Amino acid sequence: MKNSTRLRQAISERRAVIVPGCHDALSAKVIESCGFEAIQISGFGVAGSLLGKPDVGLVQMKDVLDTAWNIVQAVSIPVMADADTGGGNAINAAWVTERLIAMGTAGMNIEDQSFPKRCGHMEGKEIVPAEEMVGKIRACAEARDHLDSDFVINARTDALAVDGLTEAIRRGNLYLEAGADLVFIDAIAARAEIEKALEGIQGPLSVNLMDGVTGVKTELIPIPELAKLGVSRVSIPIASIMVSYKAMKDFFTTLRESATGTLPGQTQWMSSFEDYTAFIGLGEYQRMEGKFLYGKRKD
């Protein structure tokens, strides 16, 4: 079964399928190894890991596509790419959709912010006219229908922060009519708003959750409760980059403050060399060396 089909089926069941965010191929492999059935690429995480910068529209579309390619090649579970605002107008968005389908992604997020966009939990967002976003989605849907009808288009609207929940719901339904498969109302805050959105959106709904992070807007609701409400997808978008940042910060701070410049016996900070190299597949490359490289072949 294609990964796009697997993802579409999971979303259609409206069981709050958990889709953690990754920021690179390694974080994607870790998430997959922990048993999650799908992942999404975090634009927030890519901006931080690739540039060391905030998610304010600085990452180039080529870098978005290159990162998506690396992640798709690294895992076997469905991957949803973050296409931000689509790279320009509707024609650009269609081209990006074609590229993402060709490389094997199972779906994509596209949003109605004006460019340069910013992380949905930041202040100062601006949105394009709904009609402009409708054109982008129609163009993306045409590319989808031509190349992979199961590819999932997740239409994100940032209208809640700008014009309120009623407008966000109105836009979500317009985007579904234009060909989107899923609606994500970003920065939705409370259970009551989620319930209202579920009543108003005429299709599957996605929400964001983030445990243990201050500064995000959505109320932390247990996944089984979201499934009971009928939420289709739950993204945990920025965990990988935030966890990575804290782990590295804590380790290198401790190392710098150590009187000896070493941390003897403190094995809790990192994996063993053997565990890590096994995880990233060193053994398979050593097997290939023994099979193919002159001077190392066993034959």
- 206 and 292 assigned to the same domain: no
- 283 and 136 assigned to the same domain: no
Radius of gyration of the chain (CA): 21
Q: Residue 119: what pLDDT?
A: 62
- 169 and 281 assigned to the same domain: no
Q: Residue 216: what pLDDT?
A: 57
- 165 and 286 assigned to the same domain: no
Which residue ranges in the chain fall short of pLDDT 50?
none
- 157 and 221 assigned to the same domain: yes
Q: Residue 230: what pLDDT?
A: 97
DSSP per-residue codes, 233-252: EEEETTHHHHHHHHHHHHHH
Residue whose C-alpha is closest to residue 239's, from 279, 268, 208, 267: 208
- 277 and 240 assigned to the same domain: no
pLDDT per residue as tens digits for the range 3-55: 999 999 999 999 999 999 999 999 999 999 999 999 999 999 999 999 999 99
Q: Residue 259: what pLDDT?
A: 84
- 276 and 222 assigned to the same domain: no
Residue 42 lies in a domain: yes
Residue whose C-alpha is closest to residue 7's, from 77, 90, 72, 64: 77
pLDDT per residue as tens digits for the range 190-219: 899 999 999 999 999 999 987 555 555 667
Residue 251 lies in a domain: no
Q: Residue 187: what pLDDT?
A: 86
Residue 259 lies in a domain: no
239-277 exposure pattern, b = at least 16 Cβ within 10 A, e = fewer: bbbbebeeeeeeeeeeeeeeeeeeeeeeeeeeeeeeeee
- 154 and 275 assigned to the same domain: no
At position 154, the amino acid (one-letter code) is: N
Q: Residue 78: what pLDDT?
A: 98
- 277 and 234 assigned to the same domain: no
- 292 and 225 assigned to the same domain: no
Residue 203 lies in a domain: yes
Residue 257 lies in a domain: no
Of 245, 260, 286, the residue that ends a domain is 245
Helix, strand, coil fractions of the chain, as percent rounded to 5: 50, 15, 35
CA distances from 140 to 181, 208, 255, 297 (A): 11, 23, 49, 49
CB atoms within 10 A of CB 225: 12
- 232 and 276 assigned to the same domain: no
Q: What is the CATH number of the domain that holds 212?
A: 3.20.20.60
Residue 52 lies in a domain: yes
Count helices and strands (H / E) in the chain: 13, 8
Residue 78 lies in a domain: yes
Number of domains in the chain: 2
Q: Residue 118: what pLDDT?
A: 64
CA 236/CA 238 separation, integer angstroms = 6
CA 133/CA 113 separation, integer angstroms = 9
Domain range for 143 is 3-245
- 19 and 106 assigned to the same domain: yes
Kindly state the helix (H) or strand (E) to which residue 157 belongs, with its residue range: strand 152-157
Q: Residue 116: what pLDDT?
A: 74
Residue 225 lies in a domain: yes
**Alpha-helical runs (H) found in 103-230:** 130-147, 159-163, 165-178, 191-200, 223-229
